Structure 1
Amino acid sequence: MKIFFLTFFLSLSAYAYIPQTWMILSRTAENHGKGIYKILQTVTFFVKDSPLQVQETWIIESENKMRMEARGVGPLKDKVHLYYVYEGPYRYFLNQKQQRKVVKTPLSQTERYFHFRFSKNIKPLLVALNILPPEALKAPPRFWTLNAVKYPTEPFKRLSRTGGVVNYAFGTPTPPDSDHLLPGLWIEQDHFVIRKLRFPSQWTLTADQYKRYARGLWLPQKRTLQKEQVITFSINHVKPLYASSKVKELLNPKDLLKNKESYKVLLPSEEVILNFYRNFR
């Protein structure tokens, strides 16, 4: 009986303890691998009666350095072909006139939340999304003695269950009587992986079936983005790349200018696909 109560109270205290935000995000960043990866995934748009699919090829070094090529398959073959290069806060691309353009990368670009290598780089985005308050950007305090250890309270985080697991949830909870879902981030308590991300637009991204790849990269095999429509992402292949000069060149926005004659750009006519590549890529 004593063992039972001891186990019971220990489990309660473990459930109640919530680490500091910097620690949770740093542990999550550790699950995002090292070096450069090539990732192939299929994006499926559930439009009317039949799903439409786009094959994406990503080359990712970090949340600040990425490249994406999107090609339509099936009914969208020869109808969708896009190139994006991301550097810092900007997205570079070619328009249909083969002109290179640059815009600020949308806050709702989904991939960088699954590939940030340092918590300090993702916290400003979470503040901009109104998930974290501005004070979350402060560096963690330093203590010189054990008696001086005292971390600030962080009312913007809590424990929450989603997807059948306990998560560290960030952001203001949506009131029970409200139809307007507030932005938030849910990180699994046991494995420090993102399970759900809700944007201010109320589009919600859920991530399931995590798998470990080379160099310590954990990725969900299935993600679902939904609001009025449902869009799914499924991983086809993940390969670590050597940081060769050729790979580095592909991650450079100047590549779009140097090789623009070989890059054919085709914009989708379907509004849901066009909006996706405008707002979530």
Structure 2
Amino acid sequence: MAALTTQVLSLAVAGRTLCRQLNVRFEGGQNWVILGANGSGKTSLLHTLAGLRAPEQGHVDLDGMDIRRQPARRRARRLGVLFQDFTATFPATVLETVLTGRYPRLERWQWEGVEDRRAAAAALEAVGLSGFAQRPLTTLSGGERRRVEIAALLAQDAPICLLDEPTNHLDLRHQVRILDLLSTRARRPEHCNIFVLHDVNLAARFGTHGILLFDDGEHLHGALPDILLRSNLERLYHCPLREVHADGVRGYLPG
């Protein structure tokens, strides 16, 4: 089982503290959600957890070792990242793009094999793009491209997935479908998701644990039902909220 932990982790940008002395352990079977206002440091925290950004203090450990000291290939076999925005550098088909998720599992100079193509096909089917394998990326809508990126992450099959706004460009149906797909995967004891989301109600529906990033480096983390409270959310987003209950589900709307 993969485990990701932070030790007295502190982040800052342009002299402003985003997160101060965060100590948290992300474990298999958990679905974490990072919430905060615009500019609160959600993406910076996610990139730091992925080992892509150096913290101001403390460190991130992957399987008991400092993540930034681990070889990139080993790290990529244990941890996958979905970035907020994706720009294709070269012309590529949908299948070629999804197969990039298999690269960490290939040896140097090794080409993709039957197993890799099978994994890519299964990932495309999971996101509802089975018939798109030979389509050029340039012919897809923004939502379709987002699902291709998620398919590449699924094909990578890393135990820990870090996802920055996975619902970007997706309509309501596909938001629920993709988050349900990813959350179901994370119920296995060897898998864990860490999402950055803006939609509090989607976070409440699919998350198990959360991190709230307040101002001046303050934060709150723990089981989501314990911290996803109106008082905390109003402090988080600096606006009044209405708490609504329907069919046994609690939700929040702007006040």
Q: TM-score, normalised by structure 1?
A: 0.25
In our comparison, the structure showing a higher alpha carbon Rg is 1
Task: Kindly indicate which of the two structures has a greater share of residues assigned to strand.
Answer: 1
Larger RCO of the pair (alpha carbons < 8 Å, separation 6+): 2
Task: Kindly indicate which of the two structures has a greater share of residues assigned to helix.
Answer: 2
